[in-house]
């Protein structure tokens, strides 16, 4: 058999565009070239797709503050073919490459929220990670928290507001229900984009402006005093949980900068210094959350661990970061799955899921 051609899909229209570029670089550097050919598909902030050369697909690649997509390459579209899926250049209409499986390394809206997953389903191409439903649920913190709550998985208290309700949101009423400090965040964003920690009414007003700048629906959550711990999940129908890691933020909270720009923004304790019993409880809840939220392939589940040893889920990330300081690959590394093997496993899971889906009937006559 020849090599499998993996389409690496990265960049995107979200505020996490630069994170995606960093993640993609790491995956591209680590993937097993003896087993896989790669086709790089960069998406710019306007949504245009480019077929990139692996030797020059990024500009300022070593500076997370200045990293950007090289947009001098061919513009392409993805179309279904009879035997394989093809990239077609827009200018000439010529076939550029056949794709066997897509690895979407897209964070946030227009990539992690089910939109790209829907496109890939329509083209009938295998892809890494959750499908349309799991992706959209995982991205929407409001919907995810309600499903977790209904499943009996502990979450923080929260309120939800839409932009049309903006004039009716009062600091006094929110404070009475959730206490202080509290967090304000967009419902559909990741990597702490648009998230603010609030202690005063003035901070509250600024936080509303910031969150509504990124989404028309926001969450306001109670502050949970506790350690921030995370668990990585890998698998489809029978997923596995990694060891648990802890993040000790060196800023006021684990911000976007601490996650992806400032290498000294947080201390990562991997594995976390917790009891074996507590780790098992966290792993069990992470697996439950993964399945309740209809996830597949991979996810990182984030928790708070209080002084009373209460375990409270914060959120799930269906396409977690793959940068050199990201927790997901680091957690699997300590759990016995090296980075290159992790990428291989994720691709194989995508192919297995797609093969299983092809066995399903699409009509009574099929």
Condensed to tens digits (0 to 9), the pLDDT of residues 49-78 reads: 988 877 777 877 777 777 888 877 678 877
> How far apart (Å, rounded) are the C-alpha atoms in residues 351 and 142?
31
Read off the tokens for 44: 């710019």
Q: What is the pLDDT of residue 54?
A: 73
Name the DSSP letter for residue 48: -
Q: What is the pLDDT of residue 325?
A: 78
What is the band of 301 on the pLDDT scale with cuts at 50, 70, 90? Answer: very high
Starting at the earlier edge strand, list the strands of the sheet with 217-222.
Answer: 158-162, 217-222, 182-186, 196-198
Inform me whether the pLDDT recorded for 261 exceeds 80.
Answer: no
Inform me whether the pLDDT recorded for 85 exceeds 90.
Answer: no
pTM, to two decimals: 0.92
Inform me whether the pLDDT recorded for 341 exceeds 90.
Answer: yes
Inform me whether the pLDDT recorded for 258 exceeds 90.
Answer: no
Q: Which CATH number fits the domain 157-222, given the four candidates 2.10.109.10, 3.30.1490.20, 3.40.190.10, 3.90.1150.10?
A: 3.30.1490.20
Q: What is the pLDDT of residue 332?
A: 98
- Distance, C-alpha 150 to centroid of its chain: 23
Nearest in space to 192 (alpha carbons), one of 141, 263, 229:
141
Read off the tokens for 180: 């202080």
Read off the tokens for 100: 């066997």
Nearest in space to 271 (alpha carbons), one of 322, 317, 336:
336
> How far apart (Å, rounded) are the C-alpha atoms in residues 149 and 50?
41
CATH topology of domain 225-356: D-amino Acid Aminotransferase; Chain A, domain 1 (3.30.470)
Nearest in space to 83 (alpha carbons), one of 99, 94, 95:
99
Q: To the nearest whole number, what is the mean pLDDT of the chain? A: 90
Average pLDDT over residues 8-22: 90
To the question of domain 4-127 being in CATH 3.40.50.20, the answer is yes
Cβ 105 vs Cβ 27: under 8 Å = yes
Residues of each domain in the chain carrying CATH 3.40.50.20? 4-127
> How far apart (Å, rounded) are the C-alpha atoms in residues 366 and 362?
7
Inform me whether the pLDDT recorded for 256 exceeds 70.
Answer: no
129: helix, strand or coil: coil
């Amino acid at each position: 058999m020849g090599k499998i051609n993996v389409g690496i899909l990265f960049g995107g229209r979200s505020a996490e565009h630069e994170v995606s570029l960093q993640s993609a670089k790491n995956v591209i550097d680590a993937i097993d070239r003896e087993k896989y050919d790669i086709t790089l598909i960069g998406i710019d902030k306007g949504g245009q797709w480019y077929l990139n050369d692996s030797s020059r697909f990024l500009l300022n690649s070593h500076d997370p503050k200045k990293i950007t997509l090289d947009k001098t390459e061919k513009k392409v579209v993805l179309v279904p073919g009879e035997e394989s899926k093809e990239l077609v250049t827009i200018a000439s209409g010529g076939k550029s490459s056949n794709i066997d499986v897509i690895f979407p390394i897209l964070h946030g809206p227009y990539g992690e929220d089910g939109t790209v997953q829907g496109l890939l389903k329509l083209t009938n191409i295998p892809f890494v990670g959750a499908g349309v439903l799991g992706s959209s649920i995982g991205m929407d913190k409001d919907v995810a928290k309600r499903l977790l709550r209904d499943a009996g998985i502990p979450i923080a208290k929260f309120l939800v507001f839409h932009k049309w309700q903006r004039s009716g949101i009062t600091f006094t009423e929110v404070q009475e229900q959730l206490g202080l400090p509290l967090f304000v965040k967009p419902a559909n964003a990741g990597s702490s984009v648009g998230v603010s920690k609030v202690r005063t009414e003035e901070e509250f007003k600024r936080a509303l402006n910031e969150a509504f700048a990124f989404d028309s629906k926001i969450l306001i959550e109670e502050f949970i005093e506790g350690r921030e711990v995370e668990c990585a999940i890998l698998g489809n129908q029978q997923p596995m949980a990694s060891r648990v890691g802890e993040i000790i933020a060196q800023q006021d909270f684990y911000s976007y900068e601490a996650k992806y720009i400032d290498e000294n923004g947080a201390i990562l304790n991997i594995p976390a210094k917790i009891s074996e019993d507590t780790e098992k409880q966290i792993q069990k809840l992470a697996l439950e959350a993964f399945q309740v939220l209809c996830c597949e392939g991979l996810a990182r589940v984030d928790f708070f661990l209080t002084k009373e040893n209460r375990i409270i889920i914060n959120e799930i990330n269906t396409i977690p970061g793959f940068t050199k300081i990201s927790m997901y690959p680091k957690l699997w590394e300590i759990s016995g799955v090296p980075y290159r093997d992790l990428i291989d496993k994720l691709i194989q899971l995508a192919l297995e899921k797609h093969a299983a889906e092809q066995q399903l009937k699409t009509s009574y006559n099929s």
